[in-house]
Amino acid sequence: MLVSELMLQQTQVARVVPRYQAFLASYPDPARCAAAPVGDVVRAWQGLGYNRRAVNLHRCAAVVVDRHEGVVPDRLEDLLALPGIGPYTARAVLAFAYERDVAVVDTNVGRVLARLAGRPLARNEVQAAADDAVPAGQGWAWNQGLLDLGATVCTARAPACERCPVSGWCAWGRSGTAGPDPAVGSAGVSGGQSRFEGSDRQGRGRLVDALRTGPVSRRELATVMGWPDDPERAERVAGTLVVDGLARWHRGRLVLP
Q: Catalytic residue positions? A: 5
DSSP-assigned letter for residue 98: S
* 3-state DSSP helix/strand/coil % of the chain, to nearest 5: 55, 5, 40
Bridge partners of residue 249, in order along the sequence: 254
Q: In Å, what is the CA distance from 99 to each residue of 103, 167, 193?
A: 11, 27, 32
Of 93, 52, 56, 87, the residue nearest 71 (C-alpha): 93
- φ/ψ of residue 216, rounded to 5: -130, 125
Closest by CA to 183, choosing from 134, 161, 228, 150, is 150
